[in-house]
Amino acid sequence: MSHTIASADSSRPVKLLRRFPLMAIGGAIVCSVALLAIFAPVIAPYDPTAINVDVILMPPSWQHWCGTDTLGRDVFSRMLYGARVSLSVGFVAVGISMAVGIALGAVAGFFGGRIDATLMRTTDMVLCFPTFFLILAVIAFLEPSIWNIMIVIGLTSWMGVARLVRAEFLSLKQREFILAAHSLGASPLRLIWRYLLPNALGPVLVSAILGIAGAVLLESGLSFLGFGVQPPDPSWGNILMEGKDNIQIAWWLSLYPGLAILITVLGYNLLGEGLRDYFDPKLRR
């Protein structure tokens, strides 16, 4: 009997992934990119910043799988280390935006009234500014660095999370178990932390996954324009920028980092869509 129970438990994840194929495909892509980034020092065949004038703009070969750039640096090695930069920006920026958005959305949704009105009108005002141009304006006054990019992206992308958490709290605080906990004397902090927030984390997790994809795109765009990660540090965006100047003679400088950005963003979007379906009670029946 125990063997039967163990077999049923082991087959459950397989059935779950078959039922939600987008989550399976997206999760596989995300895990693969993350493993490549984590083990970049082991996998990379060359130093990503090492200059070799003897192999400048060498096309893809067995020696250099993705070719070399204008300074003879191995593009494959630079892309592996660029994955670390892009994912670091994505996770840290989304962590900042989640912290700000959850805090403001929880306060607005729980207390309501003037506090809710003030916070939401402030959120609406920030939403009026084009995010990318706002980031460009802030970065222009700061020193371009990976930490500045993380902080700026995080502090300019919390609005959607705040509105999402507020909506979840407005719905949940009318439920019977919340009213019962309140009648038993639970403090506002306990109600938020113990009962409301855990039940609102499903949509927030989906938003966080999709936010990582957006942060990767933003970082790549900033680096492509020269406001992001600065050479010689590798980034998918600055490799693309170099490829733009040599598109006619070095196509690989544009193709491979472009594919890396496409596949990574696609993976996070598929994972987010799959999780959205998973948390939908109508689809879990």
Instruction: Tell me the residue range of the domain where 81 lies.
Output: 14-46+66-279
- Do the domain assignments include residue 59? no
* Number of domains present in the structure of the chain: 1
Rounded CA separation 112/166 (Å): 9
- Do the domain assignments include residue 7? no
- Do the domain assignments include residue 161? yes
- Do the domain assignments include residue 1? no
**Residue 246, domain CATH:** 1.10.3720.10
- Do the domain assignments include residue 9? no
Structural contact between residues 104 and 117, judged by C-beta atoms closer than 8 angstroms = no
Structural contact between residues 272 and 26, judged by C-beta atoms closer than 8 angstroms = yes
Of 38, 26, 138, which is closest to residue 81 (Cα–Cα)? 38
So what's the pLDDT on residue 16? 66
Structural contact between residues 197 and 166, judged by C-beta atoms closer than 8 angstroms = no
Structural contact between residues 109 and 167, judged by C-beta atoms closer than 8 angstroms = yes
φ and ψ at residue 74, rounded to 5 degrees: -70, 120
So what's the pLDDT on residue 269? 93
So what's the pLDDT on residue 18? 76
Predicted structure pTM score: 0.86
- Do the domain assignments include residue 2? no
So what's the pLDDT on residue 247? 85
Rounded CA separation 208/203 (Å): 9
- Do the domain assignments include residue 284? no
So what's the pLDDT on residue 212? 92
- Do the domain assignments include residue 77? yes
pLDDT along the chain (285 residues), means of 10: 44 70 90 94 91 89 91 93 90 93 90 89 86 78 80 88 90 80 77 82 88 90 84 88 86 92 94 84 55
